[in-house]
Amino acid sequence: MPEAWKALNALALKVGAAAEAAGLERETVELMNVRISQINGCAFCLDLHTRMAVEAGATVQRIAQLPAWAGSTLFDAVECAVLHVAEVTTTLPDAAERRAALASARDLLGEEAFAAAEWAAVTMNAFNRVSILSEHPVRPRA
């Protein structure tokens, strides 16, 4: 469905613009995209967003620490809040845990940045599902 694909890409552009307008760093958003893709096991999106994270300034060390971000000292408070939004949005824990995590992130990020992070996580999850179900291949690079 090419029109649906175009609509999803248009949504991603709107969400990216909202994240930037809300003051979320591109690196932070890309780290979130990598973490969501790790959780979902999306090889194509992991390949793409790892490269984009590096282009945005992320180090290999920080990318490698993403599965353990909550116990790592390499992420600041904003990054941790965004990563928490990413994990809650992706794993959908029970309602009490979800509400507490999202309220904490909203308090730290503020309403505009929180909404942008939440929509960015929803959008990345949608892309993961499209790529996984479509079996988008990861092509070797030189």
Whether the per-residue pLDDT at 30 is higher than 90: the answer is yes
Mean pLDDT, residues 5-14 taken together: 96
Does pLDDT of 142 surpass 90? no
Q: Is the pLDDT of residue 89 over 90?
A: yes
Q: Which two tokens stand for residue 27?
A: 């690196």
Which amino acid would we find at residue 46?
A: L
pLDDT more than 90, % of the chain: 97
Q: Concatenated DSSP letters for 4-66?
A: HHHHHHHHHHHHHHHHHHTT--HHHHHHHHHHHHHHHT-HHHHHHHHHHHHHTT--HHHHHHG
pLDDT in tens, 33-69: 999 999 999 999 999 999 999 999 999 999 999 999 9
In 10 A of CB 76, how many CB atoms? 11
Predicted structure pTM score: 0.95
Give the confidence band of 11 by pLDDT, cuts at 50, 70, 90.
Answer: very high
